[in-house]
A = this chain, B = another copy of it.
Amino acid sequence: MSPSPWRLAARTERMNPSVIREILKLTELPGIISLAGGLPSPDTFPVEAMRAATTRVLRDHPREALQYAASEGYPPLREWVAAEVGSRGVAVDAAQVLITTGSQQGLDLVGKALIDRGSRVAVESPTYLGALQAFTPYEPELVAIACDDEGPLPAALAAEGQGARFLYVLPNFQNPSGRSIGAARRAAIAASARDVGLPIVEDNPYGDLWYDAEPAAPIASLWREGTIYLGSFSKVLAPGLRLGYVVAPAEVMPKLLQAKQASDLHTPSLNQRMVHEVVKDGFLREHVPTIRKRYKAQRDAMQAALAAHLPQSGPRACRWQVPGGGMFFWLELPEDVDAEALLPRAVERGVAFVPGAPFFAGAAKKNTLRLSFVTVAPEAIERGVRALAAALETTR
């Protein structure tokens, strides 16, 4: 046999199968209550609206929907996005909007345009795993910024963020921690970042999914020329369409656009037109509240179950915040409990979760885990949390 002719790029040594993906395989056993997922509930997909929109698009504009199109995206959808983010206080022109194949692609394009091998990139602690996966192939040096319950500490930003290519931050109901950054902290982060010349990449997949109070205005509204803002239709419509967007300062946009063109020419025309057809007349104003209502009940059920079954004081106390929105609770277990070691015991007892360690770019807190409440009915949430508590009992 001849030796292999293939030589892989050095970057592939840092690329690994998603830990979560591997865990999900282990936990997709029958009878297991999975609180491990990161998927929205398919009960929230507006199937009828999608069907009607698709029918109209393929009836009225089949050739355009099936033909190659501009890399920037479908112009009316870009206009819609500009108006949408404008309504959140981020005044932009449609020319600053780039439609992407899911917001995961937005993260990849940001990496392609901004990261050199060895560039420092500042991230929250913990941070979104998909962003780490998107940035890693560009071989950055990741810098974990110290965070408290309200996100990155402005002083840590000033100390650690200087010279980094950007700070990646997910201010609303973060995946995995569920935490949100309040208005005052956002202002402090923007001021501190501006002081040290650290641009911000602000990711907002969950902002519409608030259950108690609407989130503060995006950081992008505070420092427009220093912020790239990413949004997505995955959580308010459906993720399988792979539709997201990037709003970028004029100075960065041309390179993001060229990176987009090199990556997949453009996001599928049909999908862009379908989604525009669904959203253009205000559909989300009626639809999103129905998602909020459903998820809020599930969040409340998880909070009640956690409070009922997990110790909140004493030497075995667990700690969590009630997330104001999004999809996740983040649990801190007693210091001596390794969530990864806990997982098989939990699965034995009928519940699965995602250990927290993979979400840390720096030193991992191994005693953390993520629980999703959106795909499981309240009654099953209660049973799942009880099983988790039972597994935790065995670690005493």
Interface residue ranges, A against B (CB under 8 Å): 2-12, 15-18, 21, 39-40, 42, 45, 47, 50-51, 54-55, 58-59, 62-69, 71, 100-102, 104-105, 108, 112-117, 119, 130, 133-134, 136-138, 165, 193-194, 197-199, 225-226, 234, 238-242, 249, 251-252, 254-255, 258-259, 261-271
Q: Are B11 and A112 in contact (CB under 8 A)?
A: yes
Interface residue SS majority, chain A: helix
Residue in contact with A68 in the complex, picked from B240, B255, B261, B263, CB distance below 8 Å:
B240
Q: A68 — which chain B residues lie within 8 A by C-beta?
A: 39, 234, 239-240
Q: Are A268 and B271 in contact (CB under 8 A)?
A: yes
Q: Are B4 and A251 in contact (CB under 8 A)?
A: yes
Q: Are B262 and A263 in contact (CB under 8 A)?
A: no
Bound Cα distance from A49 to B282, whole angstroms: 31
Residue in contact with A194 in the complex, picked from B2, B11, B267, CB distance below 8 Å:
B2
Q: Are B199 and A6 in contact (CB under 8 A)?
A: yes
Residue in contact with A67 in the complex, picked from B238, B255, B265, B267, CB distance below 8 Å:
B238
Q: Are A18 and B104 in contact (CB under 8 A)?
A: no
**Residue on B with the closest CB to A7?**
B165
Q: Are A66 and B47 in contact (CB under 8 A)?
A: yes
**Residue on B with the closest CB to A107?**
B262
Q: A51 — which chain B residues lie within 8 A by C-beta?
A: 55, 58-59, 62
Q: Are A114 and B271 in contact (CB under 8 A)?
A: no
**Residue on B with the closest CB to A199?**
B5
Q: Are A226 and B39 in contact (CB under 8 A)?
A: no
Interface centre among A55, A136, A238, A264 (most CB of B within 10 A): A264
Given contacts A39-B67, A47-B58, whether A138 and B9 have CB atoms under 8 Å apart is yes
Q: Are B264 and A105 in contact (CB under 8 A)?
A: yes
**Residue on B with the closest CB to A58?**
B51
